[in-house]
Amino acid sequence: MSAHPSSEHIIPSKLYYIIWATLMCLTVITAVVAFVDLGPFNTVVALLIATFKATLVVLFFMHVKYTSEKMTKAVILSAIFWLMLLLIISLADYSTRMLG
């Protein structure tokens, strides 16, 4: 917890509109790129764009970039860590079963 009482950071509304416009553009881009044949990279590109969009929402709309509470970042990173543990280890098992 921060020791001294400081007032909240108020983000200028212009920044919110820029983030919103970026998210809208990326939505159109991801839908259009899906029709282009990139071989196995279609899924990779779609997930990279989704992750970039999610990061923008977390940092700016959810104020994580400006929070004075360090524990918030620890909670988010550990949640992502456990999710990755679940996905990566399970997929490493299931996706290699047909090889054996």
Q: How far apart are CA 53 and CA 57, in angstroms?
A: 6
Q: Which is nearer to another protein, 4 or 100 (CB)?
A: 4
Q: What's the min distance (Å) between Cβ of 44 and another protein? A: 11
Name the amino acid, one letter, at 6.
Answer: S
Residues 6+ away with beta carbon under 8 Å from 22: 56
* Footprint on this chain of another protein (rule: CB under 8 A): 1-2, 4-8, 10-11, 13, 16-17, 19-20, 23-24, 27-28, 30-31, 34-38, 42-43, 46-47, 49-50, 53-54, 57-58, 60-63, 67-69, 71-72, 75-76, 78-80, 82-83, 86-87, 90-91, 94-95, 98
Among the listed residues 23, 85, 84, the one whose alpha carbon sits nearest the alpha carbon of residue 54: 23
Tell me the closest approach of the beta carbon of residue 72 to another protein, in angstroms: 5
Answer yes or no: are the C-beta atoms of 23 and 31 closer than 8 Å.
Answer: no
